[in-house]
Structures are given as C-alpha cells and as structure tokens.
Amino acid sequence: MKTKQRQYLETNELARWAAARIEKIKPYSTLLVSGVIVLLGAVVVGSMWSSVSESQQEAAWDAYALAVNTSDMEMIDMQRVATDDAHHGTVMQEWAFAIWADRQLALASQAYLIDRTVTEERLRRVVSVYEQLAESAGDEQLRNRARYGLAQVYELQNRLDDARRQYDLVQGDLEPIARVRADHMLAPDVQEAYDWLATAELPRSTLQDAPGTPGSRPPFEAELPDASSVPLNIGTRSLEEIFGGPSEGESQDRYKTSSAPAEEESFEDVFGETPPDESAAPAETATENANEP
C-alpha cells in the first residue's frame, strides 16, 4: 500500500513539474516548432546535396578513365575533362590537370634539343598549373607531385636555384628522387653545363628535295627513245624472214618428218662390241645341271 501511494505521489509531482515547464515555454512554442522544421530541412538538404555530390564525383571519374585510356600524345581529352565546368570542384579535376601537365612536360623534354620554341611554349602552359597545385591541391600527395614537376620545369628553364628549392620541398614517395636531383645541382660545373644546354641544338637535316623526302616529288623525267629511229618494216617481210627460214642447202624437212625408212644401225655401231652368243647359254646351263648330284 505504501509503495502504490509513493508512486502516485511521484507521478503527481512529475505532472506538476511538466505542467509548469509547458506554461513557461508556451510563449516560445512557435519558435521551437520553426527551429525543428529548419533542422529537419537542413538534414534533408544535406542528404540531397551529398547524393548529388557523389553522383558528380562518379561522373567525373568516369570521364577521367575515358580520357586517360587514349593514344593521343597531346592528351587533348584530358585537358578537356580538366577544364570542364561540369567537374568543377571535384577531386578528379586536380588530378586531371596534373596528368595533363606531366604529359606536356615530357613532350617538352623530348623537343628540348630539337625545337626550343615548342619546348618554351609547353613549359609556359604548365608552369602555372604546377604552381597552383603545389600551393592549394587538396591531396598532399598531389602537392608533392606538383612540386617535383615544377622543379623539372625550372631545370629546363635553367633556373637551378628555383628548381633546387622546389626539390627540397618534396616529401613522401618522391622525396628520395628529389633529394638526388637537388644534390646533383650542387656539383661543380653544373651551372656551366646547363648554360651550354640552354643554347645547344641538334644539327638540322640539310636534305632538300632528296628521294624519299616528305613533300618532294619523285623524279619521273626519264628520256624515252625516239620512235622514228626504230625501223618498222615488219609488214613487208614474210614470216620465214621474220622468224628465220631454212638456209640454202638445208633440207626443207627441218624437223625430219619424212616417211623414208632410216638405215638400221648395227649392234657394234651402238654398243661398240659384238652381241653375245645366245645359243651357248642353254648349253652351259645344261652342263651345270648334269654335274649336280
């Protein structure tokens, strides 16, 4: 009985406390309801935004995969993906810029001693990309990769002090290679070698209009014989004169088709010896058979 009474008293106390609190918050009920609605709306909007962001990231990486699997040396498709506004703000966009810049740097290195103008133009296009990625890329690995690429650009531009500073900033997987490059620039006579490379060019080909040169016309100016110098009196000659008829004193039967019987040749004329006596052979055989027991 006492337990039920105690529970009844506690329930009444809780009810009175709740009623007092409700009376206090009644003036603010509208604000509280509005706050709850705003909170629920924020949750819904955040969920929708997350779903849209995931779809955008997925579409961006699909475009990246298609662009990277190409045989185009210039990687024009990768450049198009990197500058597409539909992929703005995605992680993929930074990597697309890095991949494109690496390819341009490789092509610039290949043309360094062949066409200095092409090299300088390619380096000018990628240096700003590397500088921006090295400073503000969202991925630390990508920032280090951009610093390493920027140092290589400075090397090709004969800016060794700037290149060494960038190599010193590289960390992570590329740090050992960057350290080797930075130490190499401290070696004696390195600046002199880079100064020579900055102006050196491979000798250009001097072949002009030679056979096999692209764009040159092959020589087809062979002189034909004069037709008037060749006697063409075939129509006035017989077939025997053209192909060679029988000469004087030669038998008209060139292929010996005459039906006259030819003189028989003797055995001695053919084999140079007398024919064996066929009658003696049976006698000798009979004698041998008689002597047998």
Per residue of the chain (293 residues), give pLDDT as tens.
556 555 554 566 666 776 676 666 666 666 666 666 766 666 555 555 455 567 777 888 888 888 888 788 888 888 888 888 888 878 889 999 999 999 999 999 998 888 888 999 999 999 999 999 999 898 999 999 999 999 999 999 999 999 999 999 999 999 999 999 999 888 888 888 888 888 877 666 555 555 555 666 655 565 655 656 555 555 556 656 656 655 555 555 555 555 555 555 555 555 555 555 555 544 454 444 444 44
The pLDDT of residue 28 is 63
User: Quick one: pLDDT at residue 293?
Assistant: 46
Name the pTM for this structure. Answer: 0.53
DSSP string, 133-160: HHHH-SSHHHHHHHHHHHHHHHHHTT-H
CB neighbourhood size of 144 (10 A): 21
Give Dmax over CA atoms of the chain in angstroms. 167
CA distances in angstroms from 191 to 38, 110, 151, listed in the order given: 66, 21, 15
Say if residues 286 and 292 touch (Cβ distance below 8 Å). Answer: no
pLDDT confidence of residue 228: 60
Of the options 1.20.120, 3.30.390, 1.25.40, 1.10.10, the CATH number for the domain spanning 70-199: 1.25.40
Q: Contact, 61 vs 81, CB < 8 A?
A: no
pLDDT at position 194, please?
Answer: 86
Model pLDDT, residue 166: 95
Burial of 104 (0-12, 13-18, 19+ CB in 10 A): buried
Long-range contacts of 105-110 (CB under 8 A, 24+ apart): 105/149, 105/152, 105/153, 107/73, 107/74, 108/156, 109/152, 109/156
Q: How far apart are CA 136 and CA 97, in angstroms?
A: 13
Q: Domain ranges for the chain, please list them.
A: 2-54, 70-199
- Number of C-alpha atoms within 13 angstroms, CB side, residue 32? 7
Among 160, 157, 132, CA closest to 146: 132
- Cα angle, residue 207 at apex, residues 205 and 210 outer, rounded to 5°: 150
